[in-house]
Amino acid sequence: MLIYLGCCTVLAFGLALVLMQAGAAPAAVAHAAFALGAMPLIFAAMGHFVPVLTRSSGAGKAVHRLPLAMQLAGAMVVGVLAGALPGWTLHAAAVVGLVATGLFLAWQWQRGNKALGQPHPGLAWYKAALGCLILALLAIFVGLLWPAAYAPLRLAHLHLNTLGFIGLTAIGTLHVLMPTVLGQPDAQVAQRLRRQLPWALGGVAATAAAGVLPWLTPLGALLMGGVVLHTLVGWLKTHGWRRILGDGAAVPLFGAGVGLLAVIAAGMAHGFGLMPGRLAVSAFFALFLLPLVTGALSQLLPVWRFPGPMSPLREQMRARLVRLGQLRTALFLGGGGLLAMGVGAGAVLLAAGVLLFAVALASGLVLRR
């Protein structure tokens, strides 16, 4: 399931770039990347990490299938927004998403309560992220039924989803993933996770509310930006430049952090009306999501493909996936920077980066026991 969804996500990112070039509605492009691509993969990855964080057995069959429900919901949204499916499908997608997310959150809650001792603090980030997704889906569902409130509810939906659902999942996971990638333990991880969560939640709440209360804009940007900056500085202190730059999975993960910081700066700018908000959507995809997902998959796919103790095959697959990680990161950040400045040709650099990763992925997947 994890390998299938990893591949589907890369295909969905490719689809988003094709839709972008074909001149499809920007909302269709955004949902190809975020709802069809990232959302189901996040569910599958959480399903893999929650048992680790709570020291419990692997997820059961029903929980394993929830990502497929999210994939269906994502496909329905893209279908409607691209004009291929009737409008009522959007309401159905929101309901499917809400039910599946509610079930998943209940499962995470139960695992946390049953954990031997205190669950790892990363679990609270996942529960908070799912809480944001539920609020975001409720917001758009109510907005669809109540046109007068559609505009502010749409803003709440998109900020809760990007910074809340994807952002909190990513930061919570990166704290644990970076030391694993570098093979160097970081004693500060649990403390950093505990300390940062209330600030991050405050940042998401202020940003989601800034659509109706514009004076919250600088507060939201400062809180979110502060958490990301704190994380980046912590990594540099613990691991150092050289180690990070030398690993083809660590570079994209660090690059995703830097990219998110840039997106938050763009958020401050568009919140004050200094640039179009839409540019932040492509920037979020290019500067943050692409390096994040390719970096995380470079580390995780070999573990998912060859589970159990470390093996030469797993090492070989990782080596193939991290090759050119630095170049891919440069393509994503460069292309994303151009898109954020309104230069459409930046998409070519993104396409090159995604293609490079797809080739690395294929060369890694042909390895057999």
Q: Write out the H or E segment, with its range, that includes residue 210.
A: none
Contacts of 340 (CB under 8 A, 6+ apart): 262, 266, 279, 280, 282, 283, 286, 287
Write down the least CB distance from residue 241 to ligand HEM, Å. 27
Chain centroid offset of residue 355 CA: 19
Gap between the Cα atoms of 203 and 85, Å rounded: 35
CB contact set of 315 (below 8 Å; sequence gap of 6+): 302
Assigned token pair, 63: 């929980």
Nearest approach, Cβ of residue 312 and ligand HEM (Å): 38
Q: What's the one-letter identity of residue 239? A: H
163 or 317, CB closer to ligand HEM? 163
Which is closer to ligand HEM, CB of 124 or CB of 221?
Answer: 221
Shortest separation between residue 264's beta carbon and ligand HEM, angstroms: 5
Q: Which is nearer to ligand HEM, 50 or 205 (CB)?
A: 205
Residue nearest to ligand HEM (CB): 267
Which is nearer to ligand HEM, 111 or 159 (by Cβ)?
159
φ, ψ (nearest 5 deg) of residue 83: 85, 15
Question: What is the closest distance, in whole angstroms, from the C-beta atom of residue 326 to ligand HEM in the complex?
Answer: 25
Angstrom distance (rounded) from CA 37 to CA 303:
21
Cβ proximity to ligand HEM: between 128 and 264 the closer is: 264
Q: Minimum distance from CB of 365 to ligand HEM (Å)?
A: 26
Could you write out the DSSP letters of every residue in 73-110?
HHHHHHHHHTTSS-THHHHHHHHHHHHHHHHHHHHHHH
HSE-up (13 A, CA, CB side) for residue 308: 4
Nearer to ligand HEM, 83 or 312 (CB): 83
Interacting residue ranges for ligand HEM, rule: CB under 6 A: 26-27, 30-31, 34-35, 39, 73, 77, 90, 93-94, 97, 137, 140, 154-155, 157-159, 161-163, 165-166, 207, 210-211, 214, 217, 220-221, 224, 263-264, 267-268, 270-271, 273, 277-278, 280-281, 284
C-beta of 73 vs 182, nearer to ligand HEM? 73
Q: For 309, phi and psi rounded to 5 degrees?
A: -65, 160
Q: Considering beta carbons, is residue 45 or 317 the nearer one to ligand HEM?
A: 45
Q: How far is the CB of 309 from ligand HEM (least distance, A)?
A: 36
∠ Cα 340 343 344 (to 5°): 100
> For residues 59 and 166, which CB has a smaller minimum distance to ligand HEM in the complex?
166
Tally Cβ neighbours within 10 Å of residue 134.
17
| Minimum CB distance to ligand HEM, residue 212 (Å) | 9
* Min dist. Cβ of residue 34 to ligand HEM (A): 3
> What is the SS3 assignment for 308?
coil
CA–CA dist 49, 42 (Å, integer):
10
**Taking the complex as a whole, how short is the minimal distance between the CB of residue 26 and ligand HEM, in angstroms?**
4
**CA 244, chain centre distance (Å):** 21
